[in-house]
Homo-oligomer: A and B are copies of this chain.
Amino acid sequence: MATAPAFKPQAPVEGCELCERPGGELLWSDGAWRVIRVADAAFPAFYRVVCNHHVAEFSALLAPERQRCMDLVCAIERVLLERLQPTKVNLAALGNVVPHLHWHVIARFTWDSHFPQPVWGAPQRAVDPPPMSWLGICLDELDDLVVEAVAGA
């Protein structure tokens, strides 16, 4: 895997978690955006596209910034669809807890603990063996494909 870039916050807002820290495993970054993988054992194929400057709402971005953001989201979604054949990909920008724009991109499967509920909903089942063993790909390899895809987006 390529060396991950250092995290360089842009005009950080004091006390904002996503201004002060990458927010997960930092995989890729350019000046405006970064991509992280969320360490969640229940949902191993869980990535985020995070704005590198502090903005709360998607509509506060300029049209080309929004387009760039969704191009990155789609690049990740396509990797998940192609390599994991998930039942569905879930996309969301919520930010109720950390109001700094970040898009969740999550591969969902009928076997996962919450399906068809959102990952924030009520658990539906215990998963055994652990979710990672169902993916059929190691996360380093998946991360590499995600980095390649967003770097070419």
A44-79 to B contact mask, C-beta < 8 Å, 1/0? 000000000000111100010011001101100110
Distance in Å: Cβ of A152 to nearest Cβ of chain B: 14
Partner of A59 from B78, B93, B99 at Cβ < 8 Å: B78
- Is A59 a contact of B88 with CB atoms below 8 Å? no
Chain B residues, CB < 8 A from A130:
none
- The answer to the question of A96 belonging to the interface, with a C-beta cut-off of 8 Å to chain B, is yes
Asked whether, in the complex, the Cβ of B99 is within 8 Å of the Cβ of A88, the reply is yes
B88 touches A56 (CB 8 A): yes
Instruction: Please give the residue numbers on chain A whose beta carbons come within 8 Å of chain B beta carbons, in ascending order.
Output: 56-59, 63, 66-67, 70-71, 73-74, 77-78, 81, 87-97, 99, 108, 115-118, 120-122
